[in-house]
Chains A and B, each alone.
Chain A
Amino acid sequence: MLTDRRHCSLNSGWIATAAMPPRNDVTASTLKGIKPKGPWRSSQVVRLIKVVFVLLATLTSSQVLARDELNLYNWNNYISDETVSRFEQSCRCKLVQDYYSDNEEMLAKLAAGASGYDLIVPTGNAVESLIKSKQLRPINKLLLPNLRNIDPAYLNTAFDPGNRYSVPYAYTITLIGYNAEKMHELGLPTDTWAVVFEPKYLKKLKGRVTVLDSQRELMSAALKYLGYSVNDTDEAHWRRARDLIIRAKPYWAAFNASSYIKELTIGNIWLAHGYSNDMFQAQMDAKHAGRPFNIAYATPKEGAVLALDSMVLHKTGPRPDLAHRFINFMLEGKNSAELTNLIGSGNPNRDAMQYIDPAIAANKAVFLTPDIQRRLEMLKDLDRNQRRVLSRMWTEIKVR
C-alpha cells in the first residue's frame, strides 16, 4: 500500500517530497551584472556565464510550466494509492502530494510562507486557526452536489459554522494500539490510559511503549487520565499532567509520530499511543505478514481525542477548480468508503455505509457507538500565551 518511496515530512524538517514547483523566478533578477574576469580569456568566461544563465533559466522555468496538477497537503497515510489513481483517471490530472504528521507542523510551514497547496486536510482546531488567520478560500457549495451525503452530525461544527470553508473528510481517534497476545500474557488492561502512565504496569513494558511526539495529543491523554477535559487550560492541571508524563517517561521507548506502525507490526513495540487509522493499518500489516500475534486497538474508558479532519482550500492554491472536483469526488459514498476500507478511518459519509466492509463497520473505533461518542472530545485551539506555556512544559517533559 503506502510504501516508503514517498518520504514523509518531518515535525522538524523542511523537506520537500513530490516536486513542488518553485513560485519564484530565480533568473536574471537575482544575478547582478556580468563582470568579465580580466584577460583570462574573457570571452570564454562570458560564454560560461551565459551558459549558467540559460541553465538556471530553463531548469527553473521548466518546473513552472503549467500542468494539470492538484497540490494536496495531507497527513501521512491518509489516502490510498487506489483512490489517488482513480481520481487522476477521472479528472485526467495529476495529484501531487506533500505530507505532515502533525497539525502543528503543517501550521508552522504555512506560517513560514509555504504556498501553492490547493487542498489541505487539517483537524478541527487547525481549521479554526486557518480561518481566523484568513488563509482559506471559501468553498463553492454549488460545485459540491455530493455534500448532502455527509451525516449532519458532523456538519456545522464549532470551528466552521455553516461549513463555509471546510468539508468533512474523515475522523480518527487517538487511542492505544497493542500487541494483543503480549498484553494478555502480561495480564495488562487494555481499556485505560493507566497502562501508558502508571509505573506499576509500565514496569512490565519497559522499552516497549511509544507515545506520540505531539504536545497537544500527549497532554490530552494525560489530562483525560486525570479526569480533566482535553481543552482544560488551568495551568495547575497542566502541571499535574506534565508530572504524570515525566514520571512515566523512563519506561517509554520513544516519542514517535510515524514509525510506530512498523514497530508494532514487527513486534518491537507492544503498546503504542497513536491514531486509529494507523492502528488499523498495523493490524492489517501484521495479518498479511503472518505474524504470530494480533494488533488490536481500543478507546480508553477515560476518554480520548476525536479528530475530525476536513478538506479546505488554501488561498494560494492555483487550481481551486480541480480542488472542488477532488472534494466532490471524495464525497461520493464509494470513494469515501474506499478510504475507510483501506485505512480504517472513521467515516462521516452516510452514503458510504453500503460500501464499507462489514468487518470494519463493526469496529467500534471506526464507527462510534453512543457510549464511546460521549467520551470523545475535539481539541480547541489555544491562544498564544497558552501555547507558550505549553511549549515550556513540553521542553521540561523532554529534558527532565
Chain B
Amino acid sequence: MSLKNKDVVSALKKYPVIFACGLLNVAIILAIYYRGDVVPAATAQLETKTVLSDRLKANLVNSAQLAEQREALVAANAAIDSRLVRASELAKNQQYFYRLEAETGTKYKDLKQLPPTPTLKGGGNAYVAVPYSIVVEGGYSQLLTFMRRLEGGAPFCRVSSVNLSRETTDLSNPLLVLTLSIELLGQP
C-alpha cells in the first residue's frame, strides 16, 4: 500500500462522516443535474396538454346548444329556399311581375330580366342576384302599393336604384313613371 493510499485510508478513518457525506453529496448533485431537465420537459408537456384539454372543454361548452341552433338555421334556410327565384325560369318569374301589375293596377312600359350576378364579391356565394329593369306607370297610390308589394313580396328583393317622376310636366296629370333597377335573390 502506497503512502498516498495510507493517508487516504487514515483520513477516511479520521473523518468517516465527512467522507460519507461528500460521496453522498456528489451522488445527489449528479442526480439533481441529470434529473434537472425532466422537470421543465414535464412542465412543457403539461402546458401543451392543458391547452389542448381546455380547448376541447371549450368546444364542448360552446357546442351545448349547437345542434338546436343548427336545426333552426336549416329550417330558416329551407324557408328561404322556397322564396328563391331561378334565373332560368323566365316565364315563371315574369308571371310574378304580371300578377303584381294586375293586383296594383299599374302598367309596365318595360320589364326585362338581365343575366344573374353574384350577390357578394369574392365568390363562393350560396345565391345569385337576378337583376330586373322595370319601367312601370300608374298613379301615386298604385305605384306606392306596387313598391310595397315588391319590397315585401315572396322573392327577396333589393332595390339598386329607383326613380319616380311625372310622366309629363303637366302637374294636373296624375300619372307617374317608376323606373326601377332591382335584384331578386335566386338559386345559382
A binds B: no
Residues of A within 8 A of B (CB): none
